[in-house]
């Protein structure tokens, strides 16, 4: 019995945003102890790299898993436009009551992209710095 060939496609995107790691459940001192300089009251920024991996069978007519002409505008609309050049704590409703750690950012990006209709979203990886990256697969 023959199984359809399944591959994955990973595409990279970039945006810049700022955030403050701070929880109202903690005192200022507890926030400083927990988040360090990332709890700066004025926030700080990152140039994020987001890797989006989709998978599925290869379409026998197009030879592709997903058409980049569909994936790119979808990611642009759902992630890049809403997040780029934003202060996540105040401008993204999902982070009004959730600390915008990159772990939570990664999960939110996944949530926004999981409805991509042309292929199955396999994972989202967000690189915050050259030392820190986070990956979520649902």
- For the chain, give every domain's residue range: 6-136
Alpha-carbon distance 49 to 102, whole Å?
11
What pLDDT shows up at residue 1? Answer: 57
What pLDDT shows up at residue 4? Answer: 63
Beta bridge partners of 136: 124
Residue 28, CB-side half-sphere exposure with 13 Å CA sphere: 2
CATH topology of domain 6-136: Tetrahydropterin Synthase; Chain A (3.30.479)
Beta bridge partners of 46: 17
What pLDDT shows up at residue 6? Answer: 78
Name the nearest CA neighbour of 11 among 47, 55, 45, 46.
55
pLDDT tens for the chain, residues 1 to 138: 566 667 999 999 999 999 999 999 999 999 999 999 999 999 999 999 999 999 999 989 999 999 999 999 999 999 999 999 999 999 999 999 999 999 999 999 999 999 999 899 999 999 999 999 999 998
What pLDDT shows up at residue 53? Answer: 98
Q: Give CA separation, 121 vs 37, 79, 91, 111, 125, in Å.
A: 34, 14, 26, 10, 12
What pLDDT shows up at residue 2? Answer: 61
Q: What is the pTM of this model?
A: 0.93
Alpha-carbon distance 137 to 122, whole Å?
6
């Amino acid at each position: 019995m023959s199984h359809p060939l399944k591959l994955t496609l990973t595409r990279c995107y970039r945006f810049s945003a700022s955030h403050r790691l701070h929880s109202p459940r903690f005192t200022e001192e507890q926030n400083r102890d927990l988040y360090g300089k990332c709890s700066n009251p004025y926030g700080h920024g990152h140039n994020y790299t987001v890797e989006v991996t989709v998978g599925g069978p290869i379409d026998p007519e197009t030879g592709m898993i997903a058409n980049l002409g569909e994936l790119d505008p979808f990611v642009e609309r759902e992630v890049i436009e809403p997040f780029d050049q934003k202060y996540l704590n105040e401008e993204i409703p999902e982070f009004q009551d959730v600390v915008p750690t990159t772990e939570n950012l990664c999960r939110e990006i996944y949530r926004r992209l999981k409805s991509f209709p042309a292929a199955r979203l396999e994972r989202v990886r967000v690189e915050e710095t050259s030392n820190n990256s986070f990956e979520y697969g649902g």
